[in-house]
A and B are shown apart, each in its own frame.
Chain A
C-alpha cells in the first residue's frame, strides 16, 4: 500500500501506542476472571441472601449496583454470576472446539471420502443458522444451564470445523507434511508435531472470539427462560428477571446487560489483537 493513496493521519501513532480498547478489555477481564474464580474475595454479601425489607434499593455505597426484588445485592449476584456465565461460555466453546477439531481434522487427513462426508455434514449443520440447532436440542432434552451450554456448543461447532478443515488442508498440502513423511516419521507423529501446531495456533484467537459469542448465546437462552434457572445468579437470567421492573428499578437489568456486553467486547478486542499478533508472527 502506498502512503500517497491513504492520507497519513497524525493520530495514528497515538492510537497505536495507547490502544485504549485493548487496555480497557484487559482491565475488564482482569476483574471478571478473579470474580469467576473466587467471588468471595470481591464481595461480602451472599448471592442468595434474601432481605425482603431491602428490596429495590437504588445504587448506593452499601449496594453499589442496588438491590433486586428480593433485596439481594445486584453487584454480589453479578460477581457470583460471573463464574456461571463464563463457565457456560467456556464450556460451550470447549465443546464446539472439540467437535470442530475432530470434524476438521478428519476431513483434512482422512482422504477424499472423509473430506466429502464431513463436507456434507457441515453443509447440513450450516442449514441450522444461529441458535436454531441449540433450540432444537433444548426442545429435545429440556431446559437448564448444562443443556444450554451443550446446545450452544453444538450450535457453534460447524463454524470451527469449517475453519479447521480449511487450515488443516492448507497445512497438509504444504510441503511440511510431505517433508516429514519423507523423513520417515510415523503419521501420528506428523499430525502431532506438524499439523496440529499449525492448525491450533490461529485457533487460539478464534476461541477467544468464540467465548464472547458463546456468552451472548448462552445468556440469550437464559433470557428466554431456556438456560440457567432461578435462583441462579446467571447474567442472562438476571436481566430477564429485572426487565419486568425496568420502569421501577433500571439497575436490576442494566448492570447484567452491561456485563454481558463488556465481556463480549473484551474477548472480541483481545481475540482480534491475538489474531493480528499471530498473523504478524507467522509471516
Chain B
C-alpha cells in the first residue's frame, strides 16, 4: 500500500465512519422516543404544568410531529429535522432544545477543559515523580492511581465541597461565577481521570524506558531526568492522546453528577433534570450532542495521531 492510499484511507474512511456512527446514534434516539410506554404525544407534551391537554392540542401535536404517519415516514422526518438542527422542544422547560443546549454548553465546556488540564497535570506529576524511584516509589505511585481511579465522583465532590468550601471557605459553595467556582468541580472530575491516565501513561512510560534508545542515551551521559522528560515522555504520549477522546466523553457524562453536586449550570445537570422529568426531547437532544462531540473528538485524535506518532511521520528515526 502506498503512502497516498494510506493517507486517503485515514482522512477519508474515518470521517465516513464517524458520519455512520452519528446516523446510528440519531436512530437510537428515535427508537428511544418510540420505546417509551404510552402515547408519544403525551410524552412530547410532557408533564408539570403543561399536561392535561385538550383533544385539539393532542391532534395538533400529532400532526406537527407527523405521528399520524407510518413509522418509516416519521423516521425520515426525525432525521430530516436533526439534519436541519431542529432538536424539538423541551417538554419540561417549554423551550427549543437547541436553545437550552446553547445556553448550558459554555459552562460545561469551561469545566471540561479545566478538568482535562488538571487531570493531565496530576497524572504527569505522579508518574514522573514515582518512576525510577524503585519498587516502593512505583508501588506508591500506582497505588495512588488505583485509589484515585476508584473514587466515585459524587463522593469526592461532596467531600471536597464540605472541606474546602463549607469548612475552610477557600472556594465558593455554589459554583457558577469565575474561575474560583470552577476549581472544586474541575478537581472532582480530574482526580479519578488522572488515576486512569496515570495508569496508562505509566505503562507506556515504563515500556519506553526499557527501549534500547534509552540505554544508549544514558550511556552517552544524558541525565536520567532529561531522558525521561525529553524522549520517553514524548514516546509515551500516544496512548494518552488516544485516551483524551475517551476522556472528553467520560467527562461529559461524569458532569451529570458533578454539576448537580456543585449546583452548576451545564448540560450535565440539564440532562439529569431532563431524565428526572422524563423530558425525552431534551434527553435525546443532549445525548445526541454528547455522542457527536465524542465521535468528532475521537476523529480529531485519530487524525492528530499521524502528527504526533514519530513512527508514522519519520519511521526511520527509531
Query: Chain A interface (Cβ within 8 Å of chain B)?
Result: 1-2, 5-9, 11-12, 15, 21, 120, 123-124, 126-132, 135-136, 138-142, 212, 216, 219-220, 223-226, 236, 239-240, 243, 246-247, 250, 253, 257, 260-261, 264-265, 268-269, 272
Contact = CB atoms under 8 A, between A and B. Distances in A.
B20 A136 contact: no
A9 B135 contact: yes
A140 B36 contact: yes
B158 A253 contact: yes
B28 interface: yes
B154 A135 contact: no
B271 A135 contact: yes
B256 interface: yes
B298 to A, nearest CB: 8
Contacts of B36: 140
Given A226-B275, A257-B158, A269 B210 contact: no
Nearest to A242: B158
A11 B135 contact: yes
Interface string B149-169: 111111100110010001000
A11 B133 CA distance: 11
B35 A127 contact: no
B237 to A, nearest CB: 21
B132 interface: yes
Contacts of A136: 28-29, 32, 283-284, 287
B209 A5 contact: yes
Interface in B121-161: 132, 134-137, 139, 143, 146-147, 149-155, 158-159
Given A123-B17, A127-B295, A131-B253, 11 more contacts: A1-B210, A7-B132, A9-B134, A11-B135, A135-B272, A136-B29, A140-B35, A261-B152, A261-B155, A264-B152, A265-B150
A130 B254 contact: yes
B25 interface: yes
Contacts of A223: 154, 257
7 contacts: A120-B20, A123-B21, A128-B25, A129-B246, A225-B276, A226-B275, A240-B154
Nearest to B253: A130
A130 B254 CA distance: 7
Interface size range on B against A = 35 or more
Contact of A129 (B134, B284, B290): B290
A216 B195 CA distance: 15
A120 B290 CA distance: 18
Contact of B250 (A11, A21, A129, A216): A129
Give me the 6 closest cross-chain CB pairs, A-B, nearest first. Answer: A129-B249, A9-B134, A130-B253, A12-B135, A257-B155, A124-B24
B166 A127 contact: no
B214 interface: yes
Contact of A239 (B28, B154, B215): B154
Contacts of B146: 21, 265, 268-269, 272
B31 to A, nearest CB: 9
A135 B283 contact: yes
Most buried by B among A6, A138, A240: A6
A171 B20 CA distance: 30
